[in-house]
Amino acid sequence: MKAIQVQDDQQLVLADVERPELKPGEVLVKVKAVGVNRADLLQAAGHYPPPPGTSEVLGLECAGVIEDAGDTDREQGEKVACLLAGGAYAEYVAVPQGQLMPIPEGYSFEEAASVVEVACTVWSNLGMLAGLEPGQTLLIHGGAGGIGTFAIQLAKHLGLTVAVTAGSKEKLQACKELGADVLINYKEEDFAEVLKNKCDRILDIIGAKYLDQNVKALAKDGHMVIIGMQGGVKGELNIGRLLSKRGTISATALRARDLDDKANIVRSTTEHIWPLLAKGVIRHHIHQTLPLEQAQRAHQMLQDGEVTGKLVLSV
């Protein structure tokens, strides 16, 4: 089959490789569309190796059609979206059956392929881990990004007050149009001052650089979830301040979870998020679709920051 391979010079090229062999509990999916993620760029650069025992091929999410149901009770020809540890930049990918999702009602393969990662990430952290209740205040860092725009819409639907940080007026305006209530340009204001003791939940992609400010912004019984470390890995934690608020800090990632854990997240995300996609309560925006062989161009576009929604590769 054809698949994208990373050359020694880190260029992405279409090459002939062996079709993946199915392990017990896996199905073979003929890939129709693949979502492009920043993590793919990291992996191509050698900084984000696949977990042991998973495909070396890039690609964390896709949509397609079951070609071979293996030893499972799924049906050949079934249309599916897939959460993957890797392998989607290819004509075929092997998928553990617990990571198969239906195509959201009314969604194309392209839309389905590019909503899986963001939906599972936002729901597993905010819905399943921290929990969202009406009346709470949620702070989302990077509100205008893929995770941010999704999280704003979910939280507004659930009745929360949403505060966001972003680095420009245009980005904040985009957040406002999705329903965000408090808009903070981090270049002009200290979010910890504006939101001191006010945030019941924080979804953070910055890490070390924001740790102390996030603790300041936490409300009593507040819970912050760190899912990215764009601002560094090690930071000073003021335990006294955290204790005075009875605060909680979690840090999570999706890719390295075990099969049971992923199956649980996929099940819960399908139950709670898929109906909201079908009804248009949460809208999902594709910036552009390119053919798989232009994967290199897609990565370059993402790298250059000229993308305002998801990039999709069609196969």
The one among 248, 264, 288, 308 contacting its own copies by CB under 8 A? 248
Backbone angles phi, psi at 126, to 5 degrees: -90, -45
Closest distance to its own copies from the beta carbon of 270 (Å): 21
The one among 256, 267, 285, 306 contacting its own copies by CB under 8 A? 256
Regarding 173 and contact with its own copies (CB under 8 A), the answer is: no
Regarding 233 and contact with its own copies (CB under 8 A), the answer is: yes
Closest distance to its own copies from the beta carbon of 258 (Å): 8
Nearer to its own copies among residue 33 and residue 217 (C-beta): 217
Specify whether the CB–CB gap between 214 and 198 falls below 8 A. no
The one among 134, 135, 187, 234 contacting its own copies by CB under 8 A? 234
> Any bridge partners for residue 313, and if so which?
34, 290
Regarding 76 and contact with its own copies (CB under 8 A), the answer is: no
Regarding 263 and contact with its own copies (CB under 8 A), the answer is: no
Question: What pairing do the DSSP bridges indicate for beta strands 310-314 and 61-68?
Answer: unpaired
CB atoms within 10 A of CB 258: 9
Total residues at interface with its own copies (CB under 8 A): 28
Specify whether the CB–CB gap between 152 and 164 falls below 8 A. yes
Nearest Cα residue to 111 out of 312, 264, 315: 312
Provide the 3-class DSSP secondary structure of residue 168. Answer: coil
Nearer to its own copies among residue 244 and residue 300 (C-beta): 244
Specify whether the CB–CB gap between 60 and 88 falls below 8 A. yes
Nearer to its own copies among residue 246 and residue 279 (C-beta): 246
What is the rounded distance in angstroms from the CA atom of residue 43 to the CA atom of residue 37? Answer: 10
Regarding 253 and contact with its own copies (CB under 8 A), the answer is: yes
Regarding 246 and contact with its own copies (CB under 8 A), the answer is: yes
Closest distance to its own copies from the beta carbon of 83 (Å): 16
Nearer to its own copies among residue 220 and residue 283 (C-beta): 220
CB atoms within 10 A of CB 240: 8
Structure tokens that stand for 256 in this block: 């390295």
Nearer to its own copies among residue 202 and residue 227 (C-beta): 227
Q: Chain centroid to CA 14: how far? A: 25
The one among 11, 76, 250, 300 contacting its own copies by CB under 8 A? 250
Provide the 3-class DSSP secondary structure of residue 14. Answer: strand
* Window 200-219: contact mask with its own copies (x via CB under 8 A): -------xx--x--------
Closest distance to its own copies from the beta carbon of 233 (Å): 4
What is the rounded distance in angstroms from the CA atom of residue 244 to the CA atom of residue 92? Answer: 52
Q: Chain centroid to CA 16: how far? A: 29
Q: Chain centroid to CA 138: how far? A: 18
The one among 126, 139, 226, 315 contacting its own copies by CB under 8 A? 226
Regarding 247 and contact with its own copies (CB under 8 A), the answer is: yes
Residues that bind its own copies (CB under 8 A): 207-208, 211, 226-227, 229, 232-240, 242-244, 246-253, 256-257
